[in-house]
Structure 1
């Protein structure tokens, strides 16, 4: 059984409609989100931020077992891509996920991977 069509044909109406629709989407923004979450460290950070309101950089470093500069680097990238936000309280910096959409995306990806037992 082949996973490729044996003949070349296509639905002209459907292809034309979807090409037009695709041109109206910001796929680059979507790609950036998935690229940010494709890194295991950032995915872990995002998942932990889903589990609480906010975490300081020191907490994140402790949870994922890395240095504060490394955790800060990953958190900054998540923030720059619009997935996380931060607030400063004295000498501490607290991060949280930007909004409910980000949380839903992370939870759905986790649930999907657990249901399908996606392994590397």
Structure 2
């Protein structure tokens, strides 16, 4: 449930400190890559290492930090440990951060490219493109 500005309550110092720790965990490019990969579902350390282009021991260290911060969880299957995002809030935080960053670049952000309404708005906003129609 989303709160509007009128109902936003102040944060106590302890809660603010916990939020700072979450953002500190997000302030690393490898951890962001790992979390982004996990938005698609659970993966093993080796699969994550392959996706982010880092050695498995390095990815494992990042996962340990993310797990301590309660951003990821584990599931064991035989000798393999699978990692997934802790909850939907973590997923939404990562997705929103990536989408926000995409808006900083030129052109239509990748997450809008399949949205015909956004393409039309972008074309209408750019007189050069509108002239070509």
* TM value normalised by structure 1: 0.75
What do the CA deviations read for 1:63-98 (whole angstroms, capped 9, x no partner)?
A: 111111111111111111000000111111100000
Structure 1 residues 49-64: aligned runs within 5 Å: 49-51=38-40, 53-64=41-52
**Alignment partners' CA distance in 1, 2:12 and 2:57:** 39
Which structure 1 residue ranges, 4+ long, deviate > 6 Å from structure 2? none
**Alignment partners' CA distance in 1, 2:62 and 2:80:** 17
Gapped regions of structure 1 (runs ≥ 5): 1-17
Residue 26 of structure 1 aligns with which residue?
Answer: 15
Residue 108 of structure 1 aligns with which residue?
Answer: 96
SS in 2 for 1:94: strand
- Tell me if 1:94 matches 2:94: no
- Tell me if 1:73 matches 2:71: no
Task: Give the C-alpha shift of residue 49 in structure 1.
Answer: 0.2
**Alignment partners' CA distance in 2, 1:24 and 1:35:** 16
In the alignment of these two chains, the number of paired residues is: 99
Residue 30 of structure 2 aligns with which residue?
Answer: 41
SS in 2 for 1:82: coil
Gapped regions of structure 2 (runs ≥ 5): 1-7, 107-133
> Residues 50 and 82 (structure 1 numbering): CA distance in 2 closer, same or farther, change over 3 Å?
same
> Residues 22 and 54 (structure 1 numbering): CA distance in 2 closer, same or farther, change over 3 Å?
closer
* TM value normalised by structure 2: 0.68
Q: Choose between structure 1 and 2 for higher RCO, CA contacts under 8 A separated by at least 6 residues.
A: 1
SS in 1 for 2:105: coil
